[in-house]
Each structure stands twice: as C-alpha cells, then as structure tokens.
Amino acid sequence: MEEISIKTPVMFSQTYIDVTEINKLMNIKTGDRILTVAASGTHALEKLLANPEEIIAVDLHVEQLYLAKLQAEGMRQLTREEFCRFVGINRRSTQPLERVSIYNTICGNLDTKTKEFWDANIASIEMGIWYIGRLEMTIVLLGHKIFSSIHDKNTTAEFLALGDDMKKQIEFFETIWNTSSWRRAYKDIRVQGSKILKKSVIPANTDYGQACLDQFDKSIRNVPNNKNHLLQFLLTEDVGRNGLLPPYLREGNYELIKSRLGRIQWIQADIVKYIADNIEQHQPKFDGINLSTVVHHFSGPQLQYLIQNAAKASNPGAKLVYYNLPRVEAVVPDEVWDGAKLRKDEANDWGNADSIYFKTVSATVL
C-alpha cells in the first residue's frame, strides 16, 4: 500500500466525536468549571453549548492551540456562513484565495505567535483548516482515493442518505457496502493513519485495523448515516453535504457559542502536570474533566497518578471522561482505578457519544 509523506504542522484538525453527546455524558451544567484537552479547539467550543461558566482547554502541542485560537477568533468575527467557507465546509465551493481574504480580515486580532504561525502557513488557510491535520490528510489523500475505487459515487451517496429506517441501513451495509475489499481498505487506511500516533498509543498485541473496523461496523448498526457527519467526511472528503454539519456549525449553536467565547482559556500544558499543579496551588476544583485520548499515552503508575489526581482535582459528582477503541480498553486496566475517589460508570448502551472512531468511558468522582 502507498505510504504517506505529508508535512503539516498540525496533527488533528477535526473532532471525531459528537461533543454534544459528551456534554450530556459529563452532565455539564450552568456554572460548571470544565477542564478539557483542546485538540482542534472544537471540544472546548462545543462544550459551551452546555453553558459552563469556565472552560480550561489545554494541549501539549502548541500547533493545536494555534488552530483552536484561530477557530475561536474566526467565530468571534465572522458570520456562520463566512466561517463555514473559511474552515472548508463544502470545500470545493470556495476558492482558496477567498479563504486567505477572510483570514486577512480576522488575523489582526490574533495574538502575535498565533498570527506568525498562520502567516507562515498560508497554504493551510487556502486548503481550509478542517483538512490540514496529518490524520485528516491521510484520510483525504489515501482514503478517499481507495474508498472511491471500491464504491462509486452513487453507491456512496445512497449509503450516506440512509438512516430514517435503520433496518434498511443495516441491510444495505450487509449486502452492498461491507465487501471484503471495503474491509481490507478500511483496515489499511486506519493502520496508515495510526502511524502518526506515538507507538505507545496502541498496545503491541492489538490488531488495530480490526479494532477500527469493528468500531465502524458497530457505528453503522447504531447511528443513522444521515445524521453522521463523521461518516460523510470519511467517504466524500468533504463536510456539509445536505446541510449535515458538526454541532458547533449548526444554526443557533454557532451564535450561542459565539456569545460565550470569553469563557474559554487556551493553555499550552501537559494535562498531567496541569492537574497536579491545580491541586498543589489549591485552585478551584473542576466539575468535569475530558481527557480525550490522552490516557493512551500513559501506562502503569503514570496512568494511576493521572486518574487519581484528576479525581482529587474535581468536585464530588464530577465526571471524568476519555475515549478509546473498545479493543484498546485494556490500556486503562481496572487496578488503575483502585485508590482513586472515583467510580467507573457502567458502560452505556451504544449511543451517539460513541463514534465511528472511539468508544467513550466515564467515571464519577465520589
């Protein structure tokens, strides 16, 4: 299979989970103080929909924060329609240079470092910042080419439109979509995509491609395709077809988030250290912590330290959430929870909080 060699400073430019479902799972309420991993920024932006008072969004990698801050500034200054064109919704309907002109209207308010970064990466602005992550480029460059050779445009369109009748969707999946070529291609692409992740993220004994395929299968059996914006990007290398948008870009949500942007603080930090410092400095406790996929980077005592501190830094009743692949769940072994003032929640039935890519795990602080 073709290898990828892509030079892009950003690792992840999209969000692979429906954060509105995560908000429900975390039971985020008016007035809450929430800690989250920033990633592309969308995690924090979409959490504003649940009306928390304060969101601290931290990321280890400064490029992720440059992206997050550009998104937040774009939302602050642009109408929903302008912002969608800027980030690359229905990407082929906007000229790359138009995105640069939009950038030029907003960049004056970015902090110096963020502006310098984007000025030096104008090609990323031209492309649409939704597509510039190394992970997304893997899917766009390789995935689409291969997937479209397995299922033609019409079959893909038909598949994406399903969902009003789940029985029909599952039947279509089983009889038309889920061929051996599709399964092989999907596994290959996901394994390619995983090469940009740190080795430690995937345990050595895990068949990562198969775990991804199982998760995809489960998603198709449980989530209507016509409500699944993540599926649309995967299969069409575009977003926004028939108005299906990620939650923060939907009418009403966009304006609400825009009015609450001042509640987010973007901080470059290792979340492990950030939580430990929060405890040591007797900072106010959190009402919820979203560790995203960060738990995958740790094991043994390090992981226990993170989980126990996350519980200590939170108020009773707060939720701690992270995502992983079902088969990779062993990364957080049960003994890690021992000694933490925390109760792991029962695994919920499949819901929209579990996406094509991840399964969510939550725990309640005691």
Ligand X SMILES: C[S@@+](CC[C@H](N)C(=O)[O-])C[C@H]1O[C@@H](n2cnc3c(N)ncnc32)[C@H](O)[C@@H]1O
**Residue 264 bridge partners (DSSP):** 55
Site for ligand X contains 228 (CB under 6 A): no
297 binds ligand X (CB under 6 A): yes
* DSSP codes joined into one string, 5-20: ----S-S--S--S-HH
Q: Is 323 in the site for ligand X (CB under 6 A)?
A: yes
**Cα separation, 239 vs 30, whole angstroms:** 31
Footprint of ligand X on residues 239-268 (CB under 6 A)?
Answer: none
- Binding segment (CB under 6 A) for ligand X, from list 10-18, 77-85, 253-261, 342-350: 10-18
183: three-class secondary structure by DSSP: helix
Retrieve residue 316's tokens.
């009773």
Identify which range of 15-23, 104-112, 244-252, 331-339 contacts ligand X by CB under 6 A.
Answer: 15-23
Residue of 39, 202, 234, 356 that binds ligand X (CB under 6 A) = 39
* Residue 21 makes contact with ligand X by CB under 6 A: no
Q: Which one among 24, 29, 51, 61 touches ligand X, defined by CB under 6 A?
A: 61
356: left (phi over 0), alpha (psi -120 to 50) or beta: alpha
Query: Tokens 């504003």 — which residue?
Result: 48
What is the total count of residues that contact ligand X (CB under 6 A)? 20
Q: What is the DSSP string of 236-290?
A: HS---GGG---GGGSTTHHHHHHHTGGGEEEEES-HHHHHHHHHHTTPPPEEEEE
- Residue 92 Cβ, how far from ligand X at the closest point, in Å? 24
- The helix-helix angle for 96-106 and 80-87 (nearest 10°) equals 120
Among 50, 220, 271, 336, binds ligand X (CB under 6 A): 271
Binding part of the chain for ligand X, among 9-17, 110-118, 144-152, 231-239 by CB under 6 A, reads 9-17
Verify binding: residue 293, ligand X, rule CB under 6 A: yes
Point out which residues bind ligand X (CB under 6 A).
Answer: 12, 15-17, 37, 39-40, 58-61, 64, 270-272, 292-294, 297, 323
